Amino acid sequence: MANYSRTTPLSIQSTYGIAIHTSSPDLGLAIDDFAGDDRHRVWQLGRDLSTHLHPLLSDFLQPQSWADLAFIAVATGPGGFTGTRIGVVTARTLAQQLQIPLFGVSSLAAIAHSAREGTIAVQMPAQRGELYAAIYQNSSVGLTALFADAVLTYEAWQQILATWNTPYQLINAEAEQGERVTTMLKLAHQQWEKGHRPDWSEVLPFYGQHPVQR
């Protein structure tokens, strides 16, 4: 990867947030200054993600520059192993070199936040017939995890839902999630507005199973 360096003081030009979603077969990128200048795009890349991510990211950023970025958001999964790893590694490298905060956003959280307000249960196929699953409370003030992202057998997940004591909306996550990149950026900005400034080293991919649990 090229060496990305900051040449302009953070306090003067850095007003944009950028989000990278690579946890599904499609690549999603979004950028926003949260004052009316925003755009996003999705590419169907599949296994070509590793080849095209960096040039597409550099082209997408224009006419802004790396120095315009105040923070980065990245999908941490769950989702595809290789795609999630590539996205997280890229975002960590950028945030470290640019010396800006990096927000890791759950793929399931982004799906839940796109739904109507209330209790949202999200499920997504995993390996070996298991499910990635989580339950969130979605409201106008933000998103709260009621049951954190986990990998479960179908039977275990059904038992959790059967004993859940409040009404919920169940969402079956679609395979392609690149469009969720705008929701990811919104969630990260909410945390930014609250004063959170996470270091790049805190963000790890979630595979739900070995070799990385977080």
Q: How far apart are CA 209 and CA 42, in angstroms?
A: 28
Residue 72 φ/ψ, nearest 5 degrees: -125, 145
| pLDDT tens digits, one per residue of 59-68 | 999 999 999 9
SS3 of residue 164 by DSSP: coil
CATH architecture of 10-107+176-202: 2-Layer Sandwich (3.30)
- Model pTM? 0.87
CATH 3.40.50.11900 fits 112-172, yes or no: no
Per-residue pLDDT of the chain (214 residues; tens, 9 = 90+): 444 334 334 444 468 999 999 999 899 999 999 999 999 999 998 888 889 999 999 999 999 999 999 999 999 999 889 999 999 999 999 999 999 999 999 999 999 998 889 999 999 999 888 999 999 999 888 899 999 999 999 999 999 999 999 999 999 998 788 999 999 999 999 999 999 999 999 999 998 654 344 3
Q: Where are the domains of the chain?
A: 10-107+176-202, 112-172
pLDDT of the residue at 142:
84
Exposure string for 33-55, b = 16+ CB within 10 A, e = fewer: eeeeeeebebbebeeebeeebee
